[in-house]
Structure formats: structure tokens, C-alpha cells
Amino acid sequence: MSELVLHGYWRSGTSYRTRIALEIKGLAYRQAPVELRQGEQKSPEHLARNPQGLVPALETPDGVLTQSSAIIEWLDERYPDPPLLLGDAARRAAIRAMAMVVACDVHPLGNLRVLKYLRNDLQHEQEEIDRWSRHWISEGFAALEVLIGRHGGRFACGDTLTAADCHLVPQFYSAQRVKLDCSPWPKLVRAVENALAEPPVAAAHPDRQPDAD
């Protein structure tokens, strides 16, 4: 098998969720850090990999893949054991729904390029920007608390780590960075804490990456 190479950034939520998936699958991969703070994501070299100028990009036997949620689904199809989308059609839909709350409705509003626009172009103060992030994370977490109540077990959707946990854990990390009080969502917090206690998820934590500060 050709080497898997992850072009990402240690603190990026999308890179983090991709690492979790790779670690759960037990796949060997090499990290090629992209320093977002220095603008390396906009370099010609990286734009050739990902024309959006974003992370992650994953070099695979099938070519370079982008968009973390798509990468996670590719991993599940290419390396199906253990599955990240499992169960019947209804359960797989529930897993995807939880993942998409994060990937579509929460994370994009706290993406680095959005926060830089708020700071540099719209001249917002850092506390205003953090309040913006806390608001949108809270909206998503409130919905996820209900969904976890319906479908959760030890983790976000049952007693097995799934793609929902791959998305939820990094978003929780982002919530902590902006000092969001997560006590209103105890089911969500418990699911995240249980996931973080699992060795593959622990190995993917930003602080344990080679490019971490």
C-alpha cells in the first residue's frame, strides 16, 4: 500500500477529526505539517493539493483527498474494519447527522479564515470574536445533547466510536479554547470524556502532534 500522508495543522479541528479516524482504523500515516499561521496553506505547493487552500489534504493510493468528512467516509470504505459508519441505515443516518451538525453548522463559523475576517476586516475585538464562537458552538451543542440522548451510549452514537465522535471531540476542544461552559450538556460532555479516554483518540490530540507548540 502506498503511504498515507496527512497534510494538516496540529490545532485544526478538521485535521484533528481526520487523525482520530486514522488512529481508530489503526492505519500508519506520515504527517506533513502545514503552518496556517504563516500562510503555508496558500502556497502554490499546497494549493496544488487542495485548491481551497485549506487543511487537511490526505495523500492516498487513490490520489489526494480533501474535505475531512469525505476523507473519513473514504477511510471507512477503503479500510472498513473497524467501521466508523455502522449499523442499519437509520443508525448510519444518525451518525452522519451528528457529524454534520459539527461539520456543516458549527465548525465553519469558527474556521480560522472566518475569525481572521472578523478581526482584520470587520475590526472586532478578541472578546467579541470569542463570544461569536461560543454562541455558534452552543447552538450546535444544544442540538447534539438531544441527539446523544436519543442515540448515545458510552459515546455519541452507541457504545462504539463512530464518525460522530471524530467530529464531536475536536469541536469540544475548540469550545474549551474559547472558554465555553459545557455543563449545560452533560450527555455530550460524558461522551467526549469517554472518547478521550480511548487510546486512538488520545493519540490524535493536538498537544501530541509533532508540530504542536
Tell me whether residue 69 is in a domain: yes
Rounded-to-integer distance, Cα 143 and Cα 165, Å:
15
| The total number of structural domains that make up the chain | 2
Backbone φ, ψ for residue 16 (5° rounding): -60, -45
Contact assessment for residue 1 and residue 189, using Cβ atoms and an 8 Å cutoff: no
Q: pLDDT tens digits for 66-92? A: 999 999 999 999 999 999 999 999 999
**Structural domain includes residue 208:** no
59 and 128 assigned to the same domain:
no
Q: How many residues does the chain have?
A: 213
Residues 99 and 32 in one domain: no
| 39 and 135 both lie in a single domain | no
Both 70 and 95 in one domain: the answer is no
**Residues in contact with 105: Cβ distance below 8 Å, sequence separation at least 6, in sequence order:** 136, 139, 140
Among 82, 100, 119, the domain boundary falls at: 82
Q: What CATH number is associated with residue 46?
A: 3.40.30.10
d(CA 79, CA 75): 6
Q: From first to last of its 213 residues, what are the pLDDT tens digits of the chain?
A: 469 999 999 999 999 999 999 999 999 999 999 999 999 999 999 999 999 999 999 999 999 999 999 999 999 999 999 999 999 999 999 999 999 999 999 999 999 999 999 999 999 999 999 999 999 999 999 999 999 999 999 999 999 999 999 999 999 999 999 999 999 999 999 999 999 999 999 999 999 999 999
pLDDT tens-digit map of 12-43:
999 999 999 999 999 999 999 999 999 999 99
CA-based nearest residue to 157, from 147, 143, 167, 146: 147
| Residue 124 in domain | yes
Contact 133, 127 (CB under 8 A): no
In a domain, 115, yes or no: yes
Strands of 63-66's sheet in order across: 29-33, 4-8, 57-60, 63-66
Domain that includes residue 110, residue range? 89-200
- Which residue from 124, 132, 127, 85 is spatially nearest to 108, judged by alpha carbons? 132
- Judge whether 23 and 71 are in contact, CB under 8 Å: no
pTM greater than 0.85: yes
